[in-house]
Amino acid sequence: MLELIDGRDQATPVHIPRPVPVTGRDDPLTAVGAIVDDVRLRGDEALIEYTQRFDGARLTPALLRVDPEEIERSRKLVRPELLTALEVMAERLRATCERQLPETWIDERGDERVGELVRPLLRVGVYVPGGRAAYPSSVVMAAVPAAVAGVEGIVVATPPDGRGDVPEPVLAACAVSGVTELYRIGGAQAVAALASGTETVRPVDKIVGPGNVYVTLAKRLVQSWTGIDVEAGPTEILIVADGDADPRVTALDLIAQAEHGPHGCHALVTWVPELAEQVLELMDVEVARHDRADDVENALIEGGRVVLVRDADHALDTANAFAPEHLQLDFAGAADALDRVRNAGSVFVGAYSPVAVGDYVGGTNHVLPTGGSARWASGLGVADFVKRIYVSSYDKTALQRLAPHIEAIAEAEGLSGHGRSVRARLDELGPFLP
């Protein structure tokens, strides 16, 4: 079920292949482009048609937006323990986000002042997947950082069921997360509506949140006029473990990540052959116990890996080269090894720190970079919902001091007007000459 890769003889980090999704004959980008253009042209009418075609729900323009009272009522309709869990999730994430808040600063440097203004985005759109299941955690993970950042309009779009309803857990998550608007729209058409606006949906400044390939492609198409977060890809976990790791727990961690669906990568990296053998033996038993055994088995056949390396250093080099969405460290001295971690979306340290905690109530965000983008990208946070505006102010003495440098660079770049704009202020060019 899991592919065994023996990289102990390799001097460099072991290459862990990611599954490559096989697309059909139809070009998804062309189909998504047509939907995006159609929504821009026809607005609500197009949204209603696509919602009926793809979700089976018959809506009217008045039903595109969920009544705010329906969102608030959901607090009493979900199980009390779920509402409490969502509140705990939001509270713990909010505490982390408050630590992330950047501040405006102005540096006084004698006769000059340089700094940054930090301003929240005005409106953001949060895409929340639907279909096979409800994902209230996706609401919380995206909306809470936006709320802490000070975003005024937090807009959620999620596909309805065939009756036009939004799942009650998603409604409850909106209620506890500070969501201001909720729309019954999904897929590429939702992204198009959030980006360009319709008669009912006001456009947003940035769109965040995971989705399928059509949602991801739509975000790519609209980013010329609307901001987006890192493109979400299939989920990933890389576990670095030694002989003290519990093989059954390790197997269950791989299975848990495989629940998210196809095309993901679920890898164990170890320098202990006995652990590798035990995990391989346990996978068949544990997968058979899963209520979606076939789906999980297929995901693990496609993306399951057990990688043998020389030692812990070789394992960490391999992890950094792979740059996983989730990196789980379960070996002696794991906390001290954090200094070696350079590329990962989120790191889970120790035997009692499974990824599942971070998915829900750990206090960190589960919207993370995938596909190796952790080499340059970070998980969703407050910084994604604010912008920095440079500000500067110079007295005449400061401009006099800097003028020669400006002129030298302007001359090198063939932009003489730059120098003239400075000298005019210093009265060194005299009256204007045509």
Catalytic residue (choose from 326, 405, 411, 428):
326
Active site residue 326: yes
Catalytic residue (choose from 168, 325, 411, 428):
325
CA distance 96 to 363: 6
- Residue 224 burial (10 A CB sphere; 0-12, 13-18, 19+): exposed
Please give the positions annotated as active site: 325-326
